[in-house]
């Protein structure tokens, strides 16, 4: 054990933290640099987590590429690791606990929480996991600090037989389970998932668990093949195949009951509406770019009564269920990880996640 690790694993001390750690620091649009930064200092009710693995999310990519937030920042919110320091008053966690941590948790008692619109809760919008600078997840670093409301309600223990890498999927599985629930996917329905990257594959798997027959599309043949191998009824290249024809043939010419959009391309929204039957649902999962504008035929909604739904982030009432889906391995999340990079190669990891090629799916950072 190194002297630094030994110090970090000692009982809580009020002494200022002078130790340094490595972190991938966002310094402007498209620019992340590995730097030495202070190890976060914890206070009462907080814990310090040694990051073992952190998945790269599409939201991280958008923020980094487009400069949606001011630098400096340390991103990364699909975090798993080990508790190495515990603040006064913490009763749920002890040194050595293996945990996965969310970065948002709602208050549980406001107007929005009462209506289960947890991601619209003002407290939810306050990030409670950080490696320094403005709190923004912090998983692209060696250590993260979990604030009291995260420590109390936003951390989940990882069973001994589950790897840190698998545990990083608890948060993204939650977001996808919420989306499938919001789309009201029901047994016997025909569902289309547009996009078969890591999130699209999770949506497909969860829609199948809900009892739907799922068709998917992706322009990358490797992703189509992966989709079918994991349970899609069929997967199509949207540039060459007649997905709409197949769906109509399977539904008496009606169209899909629900279409979930897992790619951020604006034009795909119109395609999703065209695939949905009259009275069907189109759920936008990847459309969280604050500058994006989308056009679609008004009659699709105003005449055909198709619904456009949105789903953003995780739901606290799905936290336990999502964790069990991962920990029980009902979802084969290990098959989605194709690349692992040390923190020193975060630029390569981000580039691959932003511009996937061949068989690349989920990219994980191992600080």
For residue 178, is it within any domain?
no
Instruction: Please identify which residue in the block is written with the tokens 């606990």.
Output: 97
Q: Where are the alpha helices (DSSP H) in 9-85?
A: 58-66
Residues 57 and 154 in one domain: yes
- For residue 141, what is the DSSP state? B
For residue 179, is it within any domain?
no
Residues 14 and 156 in one domain: yes
Boundary-marking domain end, from 264, 281, 310: 310
Residues 286 and 323 in one domain: no
Distance CA 32, CA 128 (A): 22
Give how many domains the chain has, as a whole number: 2
For residue 207, is it within any domain?
yes
For residue 111, is it within any domain?
yes
CB-neighbour burial class of residue 108 (10 A; exposed 0-12, middle 13-18, buried 19+): middle
pTM assigned to the model: 0.93
Boundary-marking domain end, from 284, 310, 336: 310
**Tokens read off for 272:** 């999703």
Residues 31 and 116 in one domain: yes
Angle among Cα 74, 144, 264 to the nearest 5 degrees reads: 45
Question: What pairs with residue 131 in β-bridges?
Answer: none
Residues 351 and 296 in one domain: no
Boundary-marking domain end, from 265, 289, 310: 310
Instruction: Please identify which residue in the block is written with the tokens 């930064």.
Output: 37
Residues 167 and 270 in one domain: no
Query: What is the residue range of 349's domain?
Result: 3-171+315-366
**Tokens read off for 274:** 């065209």
pLDDT for 105-128, tens place per residue? Answer: 999 999 999 999 999 999 999 999
Residues 119 and 136 in one domain: yes
Distance CA 127, CA 137 (A): 7
Check which CATH number belongs to the domain holding 79 and give it.
3.90.180.10
For residue 34, is it within any domain?
yes
Check which CATH number belongs to the domain holding 211 and give it.
3.40.50.720
Residues 190 and 127 in one domain: no
One pLDDT digit (tens) per residue for the chain, 367 residues: 443 444 444 444 333 355 899 999 999 999 999 999 999 999 999 999 999 999 999 999 999 998 889 999 999 999 999 999 999 999 999 999 999 999 999 999 999 999 999 999 999 999 999 999 999 999 999 999 999 999 999 999 999 999 999 999 999 999 999 999 999 999 999 999 999 999 999 999 999 999 999 999 999 999 999 999 999 999 999 999 899 999 999 899 999 999 999 999 999 999 999 999 999 999 999 998 888 899 999 999 999 999 999 999 999 999 999 999 999 999 999 999 999 999 999 999 999 999 998 899 999 999 9
Distance CA 284, CA 323 (A): 24
pLDDT for 19-71, tens place per residue? Answer: 899 999 999 999 999 999 999 999 999 999 999 999 999 999 999 998 889 99
For residue 322, is it within any domain?
yes
- Measured in residues, the chain has a length of 367
Residues 194 and 208 in one domain: yes
For residue 177, is it within any domain?
no
Residues 38 and 102 in one domain: yes
**Tokens read off for 309:** 């739904």
CA nearest to 5, candidates 53, 51, 43: 51
Residues 288 and 327 in one domain: no
Q: CA 199, 166, 147, 34 torsion: positive or negative? A: negative
Residues 205 and 126 in one domain: no
Report how far Cα 170 is from the mean position of its chain's Cα atoms. 8
């Amino acid at each position: 054990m190194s002297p630094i690790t030994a110090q970090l694993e000692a009982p809580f001390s009020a002494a200022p933290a002078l130790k340094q750690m490595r972190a991938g620091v966002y310094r402007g649009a498209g620019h992340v640099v590995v730097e030495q930064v202070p190890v976060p200092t914890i206070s009462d009710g907080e814990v310090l987590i040694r990051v073992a693995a952190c998945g790269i999310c599409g939201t991280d990519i958008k923020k980094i590429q487009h400069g949606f937030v001011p630098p400096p920042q340390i991103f990364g919110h699909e975090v798993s690791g080990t508790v190495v320091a515990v603040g006064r008053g913490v009763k749920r966690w002890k040194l050595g606990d293996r945990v996965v941590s969310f970065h948002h948790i709602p208050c549980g008692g406001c107007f929005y929480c009462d209506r289960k619109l947890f991601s619209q809760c003002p407290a939810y919008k306050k990030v409670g996991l950080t490696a320094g600078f403005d709190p923004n997840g912090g998983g692209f670093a060696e250590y993260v600090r979990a604030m009291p409301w995260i420590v109390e309600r936003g951390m989940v223990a990882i069973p001994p037989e589950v790897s840190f890498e698998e545990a990083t999927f608890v948060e993204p599985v939650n977001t996808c389970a919420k989306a499938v629930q919001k789309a009201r996917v029901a047994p016997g329905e025909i569902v289309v998932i547009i996009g078969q990257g890591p999130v699209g594959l999770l949506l497909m798997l969860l829609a199948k668990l809900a009892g739907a027959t799922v068709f998917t599309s992706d322009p990358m043949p490797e992703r189509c093949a992966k989709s079918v191998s994991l349970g899609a009824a069929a997967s199509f290249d949207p540039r060459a195949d007649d997905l709409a024809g197949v769906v109509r043939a399977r539904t008496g010419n009606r169209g899909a009951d629900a279409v979930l959009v897992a790619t951020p391309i604006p034009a795909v929204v119109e395609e999703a509406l065209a695939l949905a039957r009259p009275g069907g649902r189109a759920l936008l999962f990847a459309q969280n770019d604050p500058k994006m504008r989308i056009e679609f035929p008004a009659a699709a909604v105003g005449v055909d009564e198709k619904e456009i739904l949105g789903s953003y982030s995780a739901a606290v009432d799905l936290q336990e269920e999502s964790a069990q889906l991962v920990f029980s391995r009902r979802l084969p999340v290990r098959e989605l990880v194709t690349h692992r990079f040390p923190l020193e190669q975060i630029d390569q990891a981000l580039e691959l996640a932003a511009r996937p090629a061949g068989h690349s799916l989920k990219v994980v950072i191992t600080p």
